[in-house]
Copies of this chain bind each other. A is one copy, B any other.
Amino acid sequence: MVTMSDVARAAGVSVMTVSNVLNGRSNVGADTRLRVLEVVEELGYEINLTARRLRSGRTGTIGLIVPQFDLHYYGELASRISEALAPEGMHLVVEQSGASRERELSALSLARLQQYDGVLLSAVGLDMADLDRIHPDVPIVLLGEQAVPERYHRVRMSNVAGARLATEHLIDRGARRVAVLGGKLSAAHPEMATYRADGWSRALEEAGLPPDPGLVIPLRTYSIAEARGAIADALAGGTEIDGIFAVTDEVAIGALAGLHDAGLRVPDDVQLAGFDNLGISEHLVPGLTTIDPDHAAMVTAALRLLRRQLEDRTAEPEHVVSDVRLIVRGTTRAHGDSVPSA
């Protein structure tokens, strides 16, 4: 491996001069600079980032920690962040924590966090107490929905408002028995699924429809396959449903398949709305009505919070809540349609 001192020797200068050239510092003569660059080229020298990091602290790398690589939401998130970081010369690497608390904690060991200039953390398995135990000296921005200690900088969406919008829309379009797929009634550790179930029940109450606990269809994971099975089970169990608010688009995709399995038409027999507005949702058949959390704004906000901390370690924590809006597509009926006879 070629090191800086190899370059220095070959160029007849000191190691420090090579370092100065490569870091674009101004205290190097023009001809010396040229000679060094030539030798760098010639020997194929590349800097050892590990050494630089140890000495200088800076890494130029931001870490994104997500629960699962194969949930589409996280893929899209990672992609957006990566694109936003590139123009600043920063660089994103993504790690998977696994959805379990244990693995999430290990992913969050100081040891691992230290490797980055900053960390964007999308945690699901951790509760307040876990997060409270972590005292990293790396700037962190939390992305996500669970309750977190005050001292964290954080970006999240309007979960309750979004769920409410979606459910109101279903009711508005004629649904009366609206299930919440993947919902969870208030738990000790509030998380995405509880907030969204909350919005669901508020919308129902407001419409004078008492939320039926039998219409809360829980899920262990938010995978397509599990959602499909859960819908099948619910329908087989005789639950009457004419609308489904799926807590994520991924889950909604499973619902679409499950309804089809049961011979039910969407939106004629059952209307469906999701949450997240994944890239794919627009291209499903029929297109998925869903809640758009303004991904671009969230990414912008997250990076702003991170930069603020990078510049000032003592910056006041900020909680940004991104607005949501309803996107109406083909899984809900056109306005004014009446319930057709099946």
Contacts and interface: CB of A to CB of B under 8 A. Distances in A.
A221 interface: no
Interface string A124-139: 0000000000010100
A11 to B, nearest CB: 19
Interface string A39-73: 00000101111110110000000000000111110
A91 B137 CA distance: 22
A82 interface: yes
A82 B47 CA distance: 28
Contacts of A92: 95-96
A85 to B, nearest CB: 10
A34 interface: no
Interface in A73-122: 74-76, 78-79, 82, 86, 91-96, 98, 103, 109-112, 114-115
A251 to B, nearest CB: 11
Contacts of A75: 69-72, 74-75
Contacts of A76: 69-70
B48 A111 contact: yes
A339 interface: no
Contacts of A219: none
A260 B285 contact: yes
A188 interface: no
A205 B1 CA distance: 52
Q: Report the contact-size class of chain A (Cβ under 8 Å from the partner).
A: 35 or more
Interface stretch (A163-171, A206-214, A276-284, A311-319): A276-284
A228 interface: yes
A257 interface: yes
A49 B257 contact: no
Contacts of A82: 69, 96, 98
A168 B142 CA distance: 50
Nearest to A78: B69
Contact of A93 (B95, B109, B111, B283): B95
Contacts of A94: 69, 78, 93-96
Given A111-B48, A115-B49, A70 B279 contact: yes
A253 interface: yes
Contacts of A48: 54, 111, 114
Given A46-B110, A92-B95, 11 more contacts: A44-B135, A48-B111, A50-B54, A69-B79, A70-B72, A70-B76, A70-B78, A78-B96, A82-B96, A257-B283, A280-B280
11 contacts: A48-B54, A49-B111, A69-B75, A70-B79, A70-B279, A71-B75, A91-B95, A224-B283, A225-B279, A257-B284, A260-B285
Interface of A: 1, 44, 46-51, 53-54, 68-72, 74-76, 78-79, 82, 86, 91-96, 98, 103, 109-112, 114-115, 135, 137, 223-225, 228, 253-254, 256-257, 260, 279-280, 282-285
